[in-house]
Amino acid sequence: MPSAERIEELLETRRDVGATPVARFEIRYSRYLDPKGNPVRPLPDFARDPGELVSLYRGMVLARRFDAKAVALQRTGRLGTFASSLGQEAVSVGVASAMRADDVLLPSFREHGGQLLRGVSPVELLLFWGGDERGSDFAEACEDFPVCVPVGTHAPHAVGVALAFKLRREKRVAACIFGDGATSKGDVAEALNVAGVWNLPAVFLINNNHWAISVPVSQQTAAETLAQKAISAGIEGEQVDGNDVIAVREATARALAKARAGGGPHLIEALTYRLGDHTTADDASRYRSGPDVSAHWAEDPITRLRNYLVAERLWGKTDEEKLLGEVSGAIERAAETYLATPPQGPETIFDYTYERLPKDLVEQREAALGAVQR
Amino acid sequence: MPEITLVEAVNLALARAMADDATVLVLGEDVGVDGGVFRATNGLLKRFGKERVLDTPLAENVIAGMSVGLAAQGFRPVAEIQFSGFIYPTIDQLANHASRLRTRTRGRLTCPMVVRSPSGGGIRAVEHHSESPEAMFAHIPGLRVVVPSSPARAYGLLLAAIRDPDPVVFLEPTRLYRASREEVDDDGMALPLDRCFVLREGTDITLVTWGATTKEVLAAADTLAAEGVSAEVIDVATLKPLDTDGVLESVAKTGRCVIVHEAPVTCGVGAEIAARIAERGLVSLLAPIERVAGWDTVMPLYRLEQQYLPSEARILAAVRRVLAYQ
Ligand SMILES: Cc1ncc(C[n+]2csc(CCOP(=O)(O)OP(=O)(O)O)c2C)c(N)n1
Ligand SMILES: [Mg+2]
């Protein structure tokens, strides 16, 4: 790395002072509650309704309980590899809480909180992570996309969904969440670009948890922010405190309203931190230190909102106990239902490959069933 | 009935599908104002408007990916990839999403989309414009792969592909785009997918092919006929799923088979066809199967492309070896 002076020197020699500036950009960062839960600016309108705040709180607590249960099930051999959202609950909960029921969510694989809020059931999520396709056959939120495992590949889908809304003149928005790692990918850049060109009703949200498995965001890009990736696509970008659910919800709500009104797409970078391992198959101690991670617990989105609610006398010990009891009960019941769900028959491997099964597959299906029966 | 070329038949089918079904959209690079670099989408913008014929930015992955989103939302996107050499970025979307959306959501979301692309060599094109990538798609479960070989079949098969409830890769042999004319009735009748076509009946040997090489194969069959050899010519047309029975019936009759395709021989669709004959039709074979295909080389620049493409002479040589086998 050249020294700072040397970089300045290089810039000076390259800068043509006679040239005319033709474009200027800025990226803003917003936060309402500091990590202790103290307001740092007047809260947005929706936050005056205690019911709204409590439902955000509940959404995050539910996500955390779900994560804990899923990890426990994995550790005891009753669930496959699982990606926890520990510490990042405010991101997808904030996004989903701002959406309308008939908007479409296109999540990555770490957005359980938002999916649950959208009406995807915890049983469905457990089925998916438990290796059962029925987990993506949502009974509610049935236009939402399933979890997307190939990083960033769902951003182009959001473009298609948003284009469908625009062509049908529906006041609906596609909301797509992906990680910081995904922003390095060409398909994400392509998607942002097309959304910009066609002024589509799409909101893209970067869940910047600072890690892509072992790779820190500093190795992902030389840009100061990920939000500025919007600039090259000609769309608006902004940064929010991704551990402040009020900030995430407010930014998303504004972006959705703009998109719904025909104002085009928007990119929000939510800054958060992955407190857990990448997945249950990962050991994060190989690439980051315990104390570094522990320091980030001070930013915990759930404690932050609770502190605010308690300070405002909107929340007390009995509320907390009641909520925890209710949420734990719901998750436990979901886990029981999941565990009691028998696997699908082997014929289902074949039955959804095409609407009408081609002859080849009819034969293979018979062979597979025969092999099973033997 | 007008006589039209293959590329005009593609255009006719697109227009028919769009007129019949308001959810059919055409999208891709230069498909609008320009009517496509080969003019396959000529006139569609004017007739159907810019909400049904979309000039996209130059980005193949998102062309395929947005088609997945559109299809999941109930549209029937027909995406054009301008040249076969630039189709590879779509494989991510086709293999990871389009082909498995129905499976992974247990039918909640489906993907009735078509990716069309010119394919194959023989038109003295610049580098990366002459490849035959069909086998890469044929390996993907959940896709259909269709290659037409005449104007009438292009019309009927493309209509079928657009109406199909699952994703279809439709590879149009560039070499045949304007090679011949044929009467095509714009009757809106689709041809069956998953079925091969017997282009010429015969009794001595089965020649199996698809796409552009039907031309050389039919020429070879003519030459053979003059020599008193009766060759049956099969156009596979739908490479995935493959109509095994159609091929087996013919081989049962002739006992001899040569498979001809332009794509590189190794792991080409010809290998699959040969394997199926070996599995199910071995007893009817009187001679080993031969494949006449592109070499396992990089597609040469056009000065040497005729040495790459299966020629009538190479086909005839293989046929003679197979016929001579005792
Ligand atoms: C295209 C692709 N490459 C690699 C992987 C393997 N992989 C899974 S998650 C991941 C890191 C993703 O990082 P980020 O986008 O920041 O999301 P996060 O996991 O932090 O939520 C990688 C490399 C993948 N799933 N998809
Ligand atoms: Mg990350």
Q: Determine if ligand 1 sits within 6 Å of the CB of residue A179.
A: yes
Q: Are the CB atoms for A269 and A230 separated by under 8 Å?
A: no
HEC per residue, chain B: CCEECHHHHHHHHHHHHHHHCCCEEEEECCCCCCCCCCCCCCCHHHHHCCCCEEECCCCHHHHHHHHHHHHHCCCEEEEECCCHHHCHHHHHHHHHHHCCHHHHCCCCCCCCCEEEEEECCCCCCCCCCCCCCHHHHHCCCCCEEECCCCHHHHHHHHHHHHHCCCCEEEEEEHHHCCCCCEECCCCCCCCCCCCCEEEECCCCEEEEECHHHHHHHHHHHHHHHHCCCCEEEEECCEEECCCHHHHHHHHHHHCCEEEEEEEECCCCHHHHHHHHHHHHCHHHCCCCCEEEEECCCCCCCHHHHHHHCCCHHHHHHHHHHHHHCC
pLDDT (tens digit, 9 = 90+) per residue, B70-82?
A: 999 999 999 999 9
CA distance linking residue B94 with residue B170, whole number of Å: 13
Q: Determine if ligand 1 sits within 6 Å of the CB of residue A182.
A: yes
Q: What spacing in Å lies between the alpha carbon of A108 and ligand 1's midpoint?
A: 9
Q: Can you say whether residue A350 is alpha, beta or left, with left for phi > 0 and alpha for psi between -120 and 50 degrees?
A: alpha
> Which residues in chain B are contacts of A159 at CB distance < 8 A?
62, 65-66, 69
Neighbours of B255 (CB within 10 A): 17
Q: Which domains are assigned to chain A?
A: 25-343 (3.40.50.970), 344-374 (no CATH)
Q: Which residue did the predictor score with more confidence, A17 or B272?
A: B272
What pLDDT does B17 receive?
A: 98
Here the ipTM equals: 0.96
What pLDDT does A282 receive?
A: 95
HEC per residue, chain A: CCCHHHHHHHHHHHCCCCCCCCCCCCCCEECCECCCCCECCCCCHHHHCHHHHHHHHHHHHHHHHHHHHHHHHHHCCCCCCCCCCCCCHHHHHHHHHHCCCCCEEECCCCCHHHHHHCCCCHHHHHHHHCCCHHHHCCCCCCCCCCCCCCCCCCHHHHHHHHHHHHHCCCCCCEEEEEECHHHHCHHHHHHHHHHHHCCCCEEEEEEECCEECCEEHHHCCCCCCCCCHHHHCCCEEEEEECCCHHHHHHHHHHHHHHHHCCCCCEEEEEECCCCCCCCCCCCHHHCCCHHHHHHHHHHCHHHHHHHHHHHCCCCCHHHHHHHHHHHHHHHHHHHHHHHHCCCCCCCHHHHCCCCCCCHHHHHHHHHHHHHHHC
Q: Determine if ligand 1 sits within 6 Å of the CB of residue A161.
A: no
Contact of A128 with chain B, judged by CB distance below 8 Å, is answered with: no
Q: Determine if ligand 1 sits within 6 Å of the CB of residue A94.
A: no
Catalytic residues of A: 274, 278, 287
Least distant ligand from the CA of A209: 2
**Taking CA atoms, what residue in B is nearest to A176?**
B69
Q: Among A89, A213, A229, A269, which residue has the most ligand 1 atoms within 8 Å of its CB, making it the best to mutate?
A: A213
Contact of A340 with chain B, judged by CB distance below 8 Å, is answered with: no
Neighbours of A28 (CB within 10 A): 12
* CA of A88, closest atom in ligand 1: 21
Q: Determine if ligand 1 sits within 6 Å of the CB of residue A151.
A: yes
> Which residues in chain A are contacts of B92 at CB distance < 8 A?
150, 153, 187
What pLDDT does A161 receive?
A: 98
pLDDT (tens digit, 9 = 90+) per residue, B38-75?
A: 999 999 999 999 999 999 999 999 999 999 999 999 99
Q: Determine if ligand 1 sits within 6 Å of the CB of residue A154.
A: no
Q: What spacing in Å lies between the alpha carbon of A277 and ligand 1's midpoint?
A: 13
Q: Can you say whether residue A234 is alpha, beta or left, with left for phi > 0 and alpha for psi between -120 and 50 degrees?
A: left
Task: Tell me which residues of chain A have a pLDDT lower than 70.
Answer: 1-2, 372-374
CA distance linking residue B91 with residue A254, whole number of Å: 36
Query: Before B241, cis peptide (omega within 30)?
Result: yes
Contact of A153 with chain B, judged by CB distance below 8 Å, is answered with: yes
From A272, A235, A229, select the one nearest A255 (Cα to Cα): A235
Q: How far is CA B211 from each of CA A121, A344, A359, rounded to the nearest angstrom?
A: 48, 40, 23
Q: Which two tokens stand for residue A81?
A: 């590899």
Q: Among A85, A111, A151, which residue has the most ligand 1 atoms within 8 Å of its CB, making it the best to mutate?
A: A151
Q: Which domains are assigned to chain B?
A: 3-183 (3.40.50.970), 197-324 (3.40.50.920)
**A194 and B93 in contact by Cβ < 8 A?**
no
Q: Are the CB atoms for B174 and B82 separated by under 8 Å?
A: no
**A187 and B62 in contact by Cβ < 8 A?**
yes
Average pLDDT, chain B: 97
Contact of A367 with chain B, judged by CB distance below 8 Å, is answered with: no
Q: Which amino acid is at B324?
A: A
In chain B, what percentage of residues exceed pLDDT 90? 99
- First CA to last CA distance, chain A: 66
Q: Determine if ligand 1 sits within 6 Å of the CB of residue A107.
A: no
Q: Which amino acid is at B74?
A: G
Predicted structure pTM score: 0.96
**Taking CA atoms, what residue in A is nearest to B58?**
A190
**B177: Cα within 13 Å, side-chain hemisphere:** 18
Contact of A320 with chain B, judged by CB distance below 8 Å, is answered with: no
pLDDT (tens digit, 9 = 90+) per residue, B234-265?
A: 999 999 999 999 999 999 999 999 999 999 99
Q: Determine if ligand 1 sits within 6 Å of the CB of residue A150.
A: yes
Substitution target from A124, A190, A192 for chain B, most B beta carbons within 10 A: A190
Contact of A197 with chain B, judged by CB distance below 8 Å, is answered with: yes
* CA of A212, closest atom in ligand 1: 13
CA distance linking residue B180 with residue B8, whole number of Å: 11
Nearest to B104 among A133, A187, A191 (CB): A133
pLDDT (tens digit, 9 = 90+) per residue, B167-208?
A: 999 999 999 999 999 999 999 999 999 899 999 999 999 999
Indicate whether B32 pLDDT > 70. yes
What pLDDT does A266 receive?
A: 98
CA distance linking residue B12 with residue B23, whole number of Å: 17
Contact of A176 with chain B, judged by CB distance below 8 Å, is answered with: no
Q: What spacing in Å lies between the alpha carbon of A273 and ligand 2's midpoint?
A: 8
**B68 and A361 in contact by Cβ < 8 A?**
no
What are residue B291's DSSP bridge partners?
Answer: B259
From B194, B284, B210, B204, select the one nearest B244 (Cα to Cα): B194
**B109 and A359 in contact by Cβ < 8 A?**
no
Contact of A185 with chain B, judged by CB distance below 8 Å, is answered with: no
> Which residues in chain B are contacts of A145 at CB distance < 8 A?
72, 109
What pLDDT does A330 receive?
A: 98
Q: What spacing in Å lies between the alpha carbon of B96 and ligand 2's midpoint?
A: 21
What pLDDT does A373 receive?
A: 58
